[in-house]
Amino acid sequence: MSDETDFNSSDAFDQHDLDELTENIRAALEVKDRDHGFPKQTYPMCFVGNEAVDAMVAEGIATDAADAVRIGNVLLNAGVFSHVLKEHSFKNEKLFYRFASDAGHGEPAKDAEGEPVSWADFLSPLGFQSGKTSLQADIPDRDADLANFSQDELGACGVAPLDEHNVKLLDNVHPKEWIDPKGDNKYNLVVIGAGAGGLVTAAGAAGVGARVALIESHLLGGDCLNVGCVPSKALISSAKVAAMARRASEFGVNTGEVSVDFPAVMERLRRLRASISPVDSAKRFSEELGIDVFIGRGQFTGANTVEVNGKTLTFAKAVIATGGSAAIPPIEGLSEAPYLTNANVFNLTELPKRLGVIGAGPIGMELAQSFQRFGSEVTVFSRRDGILPKEDPEAAKIVEESMRRDGVNFLLNSSYKKVVGTKEGEPVSVIYEIDGQESTIEFDALLIATGRKPNVSGFGLDVVGVEHDQRMGIKVDDNLRSSNPNIFAVGDVASKYQFTHMADFMARIVIRNALFFGKDKVSDLLIPWATYTEPEVAHVGLYEKDLEERKVEYTTFKKSFEHLDRAILEGETEGFIKIHVKKGSDEILGATIVAANAGDMISEISVAIRSGMGLGGLAGVIHPYPTIAESIRQTGDLYNKGRLTPTVKKIFNRLTALQRR
């Protein structure tokens, strides 16, 4: 698109593509007068459903019959053709259909809202169900005082130590000698930020033919690869092995005294992180995916321009994917004290003997449990009376009790008065108050895990009229469009659901909406998540509090692992699965699992919800015996048993009694 007018055009070339598809299908079909019924009646200018499906597959318009039916349904709903005798979905059956143009209409195809059908309608993934009740849980908003928190940005902390593994990492995600692309600076899409959301947006857009520029100021891969999901799970896996080794005697295995080589744990973390980094590398995105990668700080300078490294890039659409960073609360003395966040905790090479953790969310709890298992004496501060505030309280309590058994000390309902300490490598003290009683505790290291703050400063958002604030980030509508219609936002900078997989699917929505005039909605997403403590806590859909606030009548079915064979054999009987269904039906509204592999197990519930399978249907899914996942089927059994009312049971009793005569 070299012509300026074409480049910025938002006119409906989607209609052109729709017309082309329609003509290709029409050319493959036999459209003629058809006879049906008795007495015989003639229906002019018709084609037959099953013949159309076969023709679309034969001509390569569809990959298989199911794909052909999906395309047919889109065209049917768009008004391109209609069923001749009665209304129903497009089917692979001997049914008559007629093109709208043959019926004398000739109007352009419109959607249900009267808008021209978008080519994005054909790209929407199976499972997006616009119009259904959202099952997104109402998790706590970002801290009300977040605007007053400072930020501990990834770029300010650096990567250390510079051993062979971190050098390999940096060579991939921030090459020292990287040269910015040269040539035409006009793009269909400019993406600022190369974390999960930005990378998926750029790769997906380039994959459908868009010319894309990707701008990253520090490390490609963002938090997830460098200081989030990847290193934290490497750390957690080592901690689990240490904990299991200490419990080995319970299983009849004698290991002797267990010790942890913390430098080796961290070397393993760095090695594994570096081995994953080529997937997010500048070289891959540039050479394999054909994306123009710029390493520098991007800043909006005009209505459709971004400046990076002194070069001006012009865009038709832009996506902001700048993520978030650790939020540092305004505790007296903290800004002068040495402290850790997720941005630098993975740089450690020595285990702190005493570790303080301020904050009781997922990041704080995962790291607190791991460091305790490595041998640190860990104390967790929380302003609340419990941990993991977004989770089911019963689930959070099980995790808290597990961590207490590991030796973690909790100071709940505490308020932080002051932090004392100024020199790196020397102890730091926290002065806190509980029930009016002030106390002081000294640590060798202090981890701040009080949430995350969106990265919205320094990108020129005001220049392009993108509404934002320091607490909630960029304000977007349900289509992820900002207050500037040509600029979208994805990931932590625009959502309170701060998960890598959420950023991934937000990016998929943006590709369709930004490039193909789609109308996919973020509210249609079904978002599962997991906290990787031991045991893990995983959730999808609505919590009990959500259902009560929305005044939805529901029934809860809970299966404890206390009598689950595999849980007994593994010595992990404290978990449970809890599933909420709409009262009077088996429609699943939400589920929470507490188990060693809850993050894997929750996907079965997600698939059931997405596919419309109810809890009763899950009772018919055969699981290998013995497995923890068998509890999902057993929860379905509880639902089916509940359907056996006293009256029905009495009838069954009479019938079985008759059979015994």
Q: Answer yes or no: is pLDDT of 654 > 70.
A: no
What pLDDT sits at residue 123?
55
Residue 96 banded pLDDT, cuts 50, 70, 90: confident
Task: Tell me if 451 sits within 8 A of 327, measured CB to CB.
Answer: yes
Measure the CA–CA gap between 579 and 572, rounded to whole angstroms: 20
What pLDDT sits at residue 39?
76
Residue 642 banded pLDDT, cuts 50, 70, 90: confident
Measure the CA–CA gap between 609 and 605, rounded to whole angstroms: 6
Q: Mention every residue, 6+ apart, whose C-beta is less than 8 A from residue 355.
A: 368, 371, 376, 377, 378, 379, 443, 444, 445, 446, 447
Q: Can you give the residue ranges of every domain in the chain?
A: 4-122, 154-233+273-326+453-524, 329-449, 535-646
Is the CATH number 3.30.30.10 carried by domain 4-122? no
Superfamily of domain 535-646: FAD/NAD-linked reductase, C-terminal dimerisation domain (3.30.390.30)
Q: Mention every residue, 6+ apart, whose C-beta is less than 8 A from residue 107.
A: 79, 100
Measure the CA–CA gap between 482 and 494, rounded to whole angstroms: 9
In the beta sheet, which residues pair with residue 595? 536
Q: What is the CATH number of domain 154-233+273-326+453-524?
A: 3.50.50.60
Measure the CA–CA gap between 323 and 309, rounded to whole angstroms: 21
What pLDDT sits at residue 637?
92
Burial of 8 by CB count in 10 Å (0-12 exposed, 13-18 middle, 19+ buried)?
middle
Q: Identical fold at 329-449 and 535-646?
A: no
Mean pLDDT of 408-437: 94
State what percent of residues in the chain have pLDDT above 90.
70
Q: Is the torsion defined by CA of 295, 296, 300, 306 positive or negative? A: negative
* Average pLDDT for the chain: 88
Q: Half-sphere exposure of residue 25, counting CA atoms within 13 Å on the CB side?
A: 27
pLDDT tens track for 606-621: 999 999 999 999 999 9
Mean pLDDT of 240-248: 96
Identify which of 131, 127, 123, 125 has the alpha carbon closest to the alpha carbon of residue 18.
123
Q: Which CATH number does the domain 329-449 belong to among 3.30.420.340, 3.50.50.60, 1.10.520.10, 3.30.70.1520?
A: 3.50.50.60
What pLDDT sits at residue 466?
96
What pLDDT sits at residue 108?
53
What pLDDT sits at residue 5?
31
Cβ neighbours of 9 (radius 10 Å): 12
Identify which of 142, 139, 143, 169 has the alpha carbon closest to the alpha carbon of residue 154.
169
518 vs 192, which has greater pLDDT? 192
Residue 10 banded pLDDT, cuts 50, 70, 90: very low
What pLDDT sits at residue 244?
96
